[in-house]
Amino acid sequence: MSTNPKYLLGTEANRIFMASETYELLNFGKGFPAAVGGSGWLNADGTIDPSHGEETWITSRMAHVYSIGHMLGYPGAGELADKALAGLTGVLHDDKNGGWYPQVHEDGTPEPGKVCYAHAFVILAASSALLAGRPGAQELLDEALATYDKHFWDEEIGLAVDTWNTEFTELDPYRGLNANMHTTEAFLAVADATGDNSYRVRAGRIIDHVIGWAKNNEWRIPEHFSSDWTVELEFNADKKDDQFKPYGATPGHGIEWARLITQWALSSFANLEGAEPYIEAAEHLFARAVADAWNADGTVGLAYTTDWNGKPVVTDRMHWTLAESLNTSATLYSATGKDEYAQWYATFAQYVDEHVIDHQGGSWFHQLDKDNHVIGTVWPGKSDLYHAFQSTLIPFLDPAVSIATAVKNAA
């Protein structure tokens, strides 16, 4: 591990390094507002790539980021958050059927379907905007929760369904954990922002399922399921690098779940005794992910996916997996006091600085190959700021509290 103070948790040098990144990212993303409202997809230079139109998940992420930016005092962040929110109340909203289109194309036509993943991000955006005091945030949050509760939350099993048709009349048989992971994040954010603890309880129900599946699978989390929640380990075996549903295990998700589980446990139990089994599960998930994917193919970095024996399948490095690695290693260090997590944080911070941050062009490269050359087959450009931005803050905030509430509390 590096001994450079810039990478060591708890040093002034590390805090300055990450704080300068916070500011740099907010600066880079300022050009996101699309003419029709909402956010465009950012190119490598921060301009908008019009071919992506406007997407609900990216618009929501930008609303979330700039709401937090506003609470940090970044000049103009509040107005930028409002421009993202205008996309969620305007062009991306389905006024006829309710809910949000996944995307509105460049020619103005909406992408069909209603996707849980996108709706979870609307909830996250609205809860952050509420904390930032943005106009209309409460109404947006109320509608987003009502829509989600009606169509996506399955109270009986305690998990979220994945995809409807546009009219919410036909439900796709696919069930997925990616949407449930961001639902967990959104539910924790709502519980923290509003004090409604029923959403924290729901997050715990999802987490219990995930830990059960992972434990029965050597701590590699199954991602894809049929309509009755039967595990489908071979899903997308012929489309291994799918943007949202890749084949096999995604170590970055094991790492991300480890943080969310720790956050939920720390916020749900009055004593550490109750939280301990969950933190232990989080440690297993983290350990499995780094054992399988870190430097696993002879070069430095974290492989994107592995098969069910832990052998790398897609060896590209995605920037979000490193952002989550920073978050989780710091969170586990805070929760356990074990030095190994501080060492992991330093290792990841050095890698991010040397390979992932674009020191010339700004922001972070979104995709590298296994030799750490920039590529764009899955993630062209630098679509949004969310993962990178959060990783410059979460390691320094209360690990029991969602990022927006933690920033507000710290202020």
Residue type, 144: A
End-to-end CA distance of the chain: 33
Radius of gyration of the chain (CA): 20
Q: Could you confirm whether 355 is annotated as catalytic? A: no
Nearest Cα to 221, choosing from 123, 292, 143?
292
Measured in degrees and rounded to the nearest 5, phi and psi for residue 175 equal: -125, 140
Start-end of H helices in 159-300: 177-194, 198-215, 251-268, 272-293
Total residue count of the chain as it appears in this document: 411
Active-site residue identified among 119, 182, 253, 319: 253
Strands (E), 299-354: 317-318
What torsion do the CA atoms of 198, 388, 75, 10 make, to the nearest 10 degrees? Answer: 90
Q: How many CA atoms lie within 13 A of 139 on its CB side?
A: 7
Give the DSSP letter of residue 142.
H
- CA–CA separation, 94 vs 101, rounded Å? 6
Number of continuous H segments (helices) and E segments (strands) in the chain: 13, 12
Residue of 182, 319, 355, 387 marked catalytic: 387
Closest CA to 87 of 112, 113, 114, 121: 121
Instruction: State the CB neighbour count (10 A cutoff) for residue 21.
Output: 20
Instruction: Tell me how crowded residue 159 is: count the other CB atoms within 10 A of its CB.
Output: 23
* 387 is a catalytic site residue: yes
Residues identified as active-site: 253, 387
